[in-house]
Each structure stands twice: as structure tokens, then as C-alpha cells.
Amino acid sequence: MVVRLEELVVIMDQEFALENFGKDPAFSRFLPDAYDSVLFDWKSQFEFPFTQRFNGLLIKGSPFVHRIFLAVFPTDHVLEHFIEKSSEGDLLFMHHPLLMECGDPRGRWGKGFVPIKENWIRGIKDKKLSVYTCHVPLDYHSSLGTSAAIARILNAEIVDGLVPIHVNKTPLILICHIDPTDTNSLIHSLKQIFEIPYVDFDGQKHPDIQKIAIVAGCGDKVHWMEAAEKKGVHAYITGEIHCHIDNAYGREKFSAMKEFASTTSMSLIGVSHSASEYLVKKTLIKEWLEHTIGIETVLIPQEKWWL
């Protein structure tokens, strides 16, 4: 099925309530800093509504969309694959408009936010492709959200939440009941679900886990974990439990988390930032686009989840 880009953008903007959310609190800060650091005139190169909200249509291609490619971060691999495998008018739907090098808990620490290279932007425009990104509005979506996708695949019952947003009263952190399990079994399941070679683990191992907290992406905030623990959570599942960004900010956060981890009773499990957010694309978002809109989708998994 072919969909007019103009109509598709309206559907997606409305589904994720972009106008209600206003400026993305993260990328309205990080995107200008990243592109200004390399002297790239992002305001003239990206669509005007995006430069105001930092969500939505980033690059506008041909007026008819045949396929939507789904990814999380704009890595070189993802963008090269999109440009090579796409046809004029196809659209790339990502969670981030910047690459986020979060670092590898068993390898190299990351650089933090990295802008899309100018050659990829030029390649996308030359082929008349489109790019759409949605960050906070996707995280908070009640049925298509990043954490909601994790809860569904774990067959978890959502019973409470933390960090609600005023726009739709949906919590960012989901507190859930699950069938009884133990830490090692839960880690084994998560490695299979997210297709990762290892998790980042800290805290305590439990023989009987029945209550969990879920927050996709960067859940490495001590006050969030403290609040979850007060609600009786046994395991805290997120993308990043430790910040491995190689700067003063990253080292300070890492130190604070290590101190908390030495005292907590919870199992703290990180499945990588990108993998935790890719799950929603290959499940809920793919289903929504194909069944509700009727358009073909193509998945682009990241070449390395711990990046």
C-alpha cells in the first residue's frame, strides 16, 4: 500500500500527540549542542516543525511512502542500510534523531550524543527519502510505548507506575506483577528477548521475583530506583543501569549508581539502551503500522546493541 507522506505525518503526529507534548525536553537541548559542535546548520536542513518540537518529520522526501523502515538510533550501519535498501519516498522511523553512545559495560565507554554525519543527511535527501523521529511521546504512549512493549513480552500485569507526565497521565516507569521467577532465570529470558550477549547487572540476586519495575532507555537514576524499591520491587529492568559515557557527567552518575547498588535489595538489570527501545519497533509499532495504516515495514536492527 502506498500512503501520502502528508497524510502519514498527520496520523503519526496525532497518534503520538506531538502538539500536546511540546518541545522534547531532552533533544531540545542535546540536538542543538551536538550539531552546533560540528558547525552544521540544522535549522535550515531539518523541517521547521521539527526544529520547534524536536519530534516528528525530520527530513521530508517524496510525497508518496511505500515502506517504513524501523530503527532506534541513527548509527552509520542503520543509515547506510536505509539508503541502500530503500526506494524513493520510503521513510525511516527512529526513536532518536541523534546517535547515543551509551558505552559497553564490558568494553569501551561511549561518547554520549553524536550527530548524524552530513554525508548520510545528503544521501537521504538525494534519494528523496524521509526521516521521522519520536522520543518522549513514544516513551509515554499508553499502548505503543517503549516500556509497554517490554511489559507485554514479559506477560507482566501493570499495577502501578512512577514519573507520570501531565499530558496523558501515563507513567514512565511501569510497576508490574509477573509469574514467580528468580534473577538468573529472568536474566536468561531477557538475553533471549533482546538478543544481547550479556546484561549489565548489579544489586542482589533473588530466588523469588514477582514484582518488577520497567523503564526502557536510561533508567540509571538513583531516585527512580529508590522510589521503585519503596514500592516493593524485586527487580528493576531498564536499558542502562550504569552510565558508561566517558566524561565527568558519566563518571559522576556511575559512581552514584555504584553506591546505591551496594545497598539496594533489588536486582538491577540493564539490557542496553538501544535494545530496550528497539523492542517496541519490532513488535507494537510494526503491528500498528501494518494493521492500522496498512503499510509495509522493514526492520533495521542495530549492528551492536551495547554501543
Residues comprising the binding site?
Answer: 95-96, 139, 273, 277
Q: How many CB atoms lie within 10 A of CB 224?
A: 19
What's the rounded Cα separation, in Å, for the pair 99 and 18? 21
CB under 8 Å, gap of 24 or more: what pairs does 22-29 form?
22/53, 23/52, 23/53, 23/54, 24/53, 24/54, 24/55, 24/135, 24/136, 25/136, 26/135, 26/136, 27/54, 27/55, 27/96, 27/97, 27/98, 27/135, 28/54
CA angle, residues 94, 99, 105, in degrees to nearest 5: 115
Per the document, the length of the chain is 307
CB-based contacts of 136: which residues, under 8 Å, 6+ apart?
21, 24, 25, 26, 55, 165
**Locate cell 518488577: which residue?**
212
The residues facing 114 across adjacent strands are 99
Cell of 207: 530466588
Residue ranges of the binding site for a divalent metal cation: 95-96, 139, 273, 277
**Which of 180, 221, 228, 182 lies closest to 204, judged by CA?**
182
